[in-house]
């Protein structure tokens, strides 16, 4: 049994398999997930688990050098954007249109589906190295 960190076996495996520049998407419950991309569905009910709880857990286990957000988050969910930026103080943030964001999920190792219902509660994490 793992001593600490992510205990979801699918998610722990994906994180362990990730290399430099690989991407992992954390999504709200409405983001379309491409058929060819692994889906790790953590959603239980609308609103649970929350996007930020999943993001916080991921940031404890995954080295992140860059994050990608939909540009629409600035206008539609500025409070959520501020909370995300607070969690990623030294990380490069790229904003792209939501239509482009959805296309970029095709390159993710996996999409982690939350129960979040806040608009544009989606992020693509680009892995870094810890040395």
Binding-site members for substrate are 28, 98, 120-122
Active site residue 20: yes
Query: Of the residues 5, 9, 20, 21, which is catalytic?
Result: 20
Residue 86, number of CB atoms within 10 A of its CB: 9
Dist. CA 9–CA 105, nearest whole Å: 21
DSSP string, 84-105: HHHH-TTSEEEEE-HHHHHHHG
Contacts of 47 (CB under 8 A, 6+ apart): 115, 116, 117
Which token pair is 17? 């398999």
Annotated binding site: 28, 98, 120-122
Are the C-beta atoms of residues 71 and 96 closer than 8 Å to each other?
A: yes
Residues with catalytic annotation?
Answer: 20
């Amino acid at each position: 049994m793992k001593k600490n960190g992510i205990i979801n076996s699918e998610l722990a495996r994906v994180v362990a398999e990730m290399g430099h520049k690989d991407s992992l998407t954390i999504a709200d419950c409405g983001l379309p997930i491409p058929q060819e991309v692994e889906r790790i569905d953590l959603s239980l009910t609308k609103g649970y688990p929350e996007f930020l709880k999943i993001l916080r857990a991921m940031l404890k286990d995954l080295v992140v050098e860059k994050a990608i957000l939909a540009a629409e988050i600035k206008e539609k969910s500025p409070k959520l954007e501020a909370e995300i930026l607070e969690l990623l103080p030294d990380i490069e943030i790229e904003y792209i249109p939501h239509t482009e964001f959805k296309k970029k999920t095709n390159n993710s190792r996996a999409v982690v589906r939350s129960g979040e219902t806040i608009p544009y509660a989606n992020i693509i994490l680009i892995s870094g190295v810890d040395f």
